Structure 1
């Protein structure tokens, strides 16, 4: 099979398109003929030798990627034969191997793809969708809500805008550049602003009049996040799930001391990692099922940007330079 391999940590150019032996599923596993593989921001960090949630850098050489969709073509010993030939999607967890024409995964991780979704959409929802629903566990949205969504043209931002609008909230979307802002506006935001313009907070205040934001969904950190938090009224929430900064890996999370939060009458919570898992009762599979169901029903519509598998390096460069919109997916 063809796959993307990483032999040395470093720049995107270190991702090479190679022919390697086909994988064989172990007992309780299946092999998937991959039609779509998700590219996650964490993949770009792991490529550089950063550990992220891992206790140590991944072992090299490796085939990156942790989200795949396709058709089950081979079963491991003891695996339910009903899976053979089914169109499925799975998050591989801590195991890599997704950037390939074939991938193996434990059958317990599989979800059958709803007929209403194509494979790339299913990949978007198994990772980005489940994270979005995990974030939303920490706040309630309704007709009285005013939600500010940073990075609103990204994969998670796109879904947050849709969810908030479905809940009846007023939605302010922030994006980097007029083209991205136009995409956010088309996605349903009541106001979409280019956060590269220094006057964007004044645009938001003029739009809201005497209203204040009730929640800021913060994926960027830094000064953009601080300006967004400045729009919160008393009782507002700052929900942190990233800090991309000016580049993907050089940002800083926006943090507060307790006295500052108390003086403003707002709260700030980082929902990543253990906090999100604990809120979900330790069961991310429930979030995955909900995510796929929301997309199948048309309530959430993932945005997808596709790259050929052989161009994984270009996909990583685009993601790191913020040249993408929506979920990045590799297509073998």
Structure 2
């Protein structure tokens, strides 16, 4: 099979498209003929050798990627024979192997791809979708709410805009450049603003006519986040929900965090709210159900598997919209 391998930490050019041995499923596993593999901003940090949430450092060489969708083409010992030929999607957890034509995973990680979703959309929901719904657990959005979504043209931002609109909120989406703000408007935001315009906060305040924001969804940090927090009325219970630091680098804090207003929502807090014996699976099931029902529609930017390096460069330079997906 063909796969994308990383032999040494460093720039995107270190991702190489190679021919490697086919993986074989072990006991309780299946092999998936991959139709789509998800690319995450965390993948770019791990490629560079930066620390991440994995319990152990990445062992090189490796095939990156932790989200796959496709068709089960081989079974390991003990796997249900009925799985053979099924369309499935899975988050591989901390195991690598997604950037490939074939990937192996445990049967407990599989979900059937709902009818009406293609593989790329399913991949978007299994990782990005579950995160968006995990973040949304910390809100109580309704017709009186004003939601400000940073990176509103990104994978998570696209879904949060839809979620907030579905709840009846007024939605302000931030994005960089006219092409992205046009996409944010088309996605349903009441107001889409370019955060690169110095006066964008004044534009938002004028549009809202004195209403404060009630919820700020922030996966970015930096100056745009500071200006967004200033739109909140903290005394009235405004919430700044933090789930990333794209503008400041992996793992950094932010000078814009405000006691009693800012809350970092990823990790244990999100899992506790999701509940169930397997909270991540709980969120995955919710995400796929929302997409199957048409309430959440993921946006996808597709690259050929062989162009994984291009996908990483585009993601790092904010040249993509929606979820970035590799297709063999």
Question: Are 2:272 and 1:278 aligned?
Answer: yes
Three-state SS of the structure 2 residue aligned to 1:232 is: coil
| Map 1:109-120 → 2, pairs under 5 A | 109-120=109-120
Residues 226 and 256 in structure 2, CA contact (< 8 A), matched pair in contact too: no
Shift of 1:244: 1.1
Residues 29 and 75 in structure 1, CA contact (< 8 A), matched pair in contact too: yes
Taking the aligned partners of 1:142 and 1:224, their CA distance within structure 2 comes to: 24
Residues 51 and 58 in structure 1, CA contact (< 8 A), matched pair in contact too: no
The match for 1:326 is 322
Taking the aligned partners of 1:210 and 1:307, their CA distance within structure 2 comes to: 43
Question: Are 2:299 and 1:307 aligned?
Answer: no
The match for 1:298 is 294
The match for 1:239 is 241
The match for 2:84 is 84
The match for 2:12 is 12
Say how many residue pairs are matched: 324
Q: Which of the numbers 257, 260, 263 marks the counterpart of 1:269?
A: 263
Three-state SS of the structure 2 residue aligned to 1:312 is: helix
Q: What's the CA shift string for 1:254-297, capped at 9, x where partnerless? A: 45464xx4xxxxx2100112221222225110110110010011
| Map 1:171-250 → 2, pairs under 5 A | 171-233=171-233, 234-245=236-247, 249=250
Q: What's the CA shift string for 1:18-64, capped at 9, x where partnerless? A: 00000000000000000000001110011011121024420000000
Residues 30 and 79 in structure 2, CA contact (< 8 A), matched pair in contact too: yes
Shift of 1:243: 1.2
Three-state SS of the structure 1 residue aligned to 2:324 is: strand
Q: What's the CA shift string for 1:198-256, capped at 9, x where partnerless? A: 0000000000002110000011111110100111123100000011116x659653454
Residues 73 and 84 in structure 2, CA contact (< 8 A), matched pair in contact too: yes
Structure 2 gaps, min length 5 = none
Shift of 1:82: 1.0
Question: Are 2:318 and 1:317 aligned?
Answer: no
Taking the aligned partners of 1:327 and 1:79, their CA distance within structure 2 comes to: 31
Three-state SS of the structure 1 residue aligned to 2:152 is: coil
Change (3 A) 1:141 1:254: farther
Structure 1 gaps, min length 5 = 262-266
Taking the aligned partners of 1:129 and 1:224, their CA distance within structure 2 comes to: 23
Residues 66 and 94 in structure 1, CA contact (< 8 A), matched pair in contact too: yes
| Map 1:34-183 → 2, pairs under 5 A | 34-183=34-183
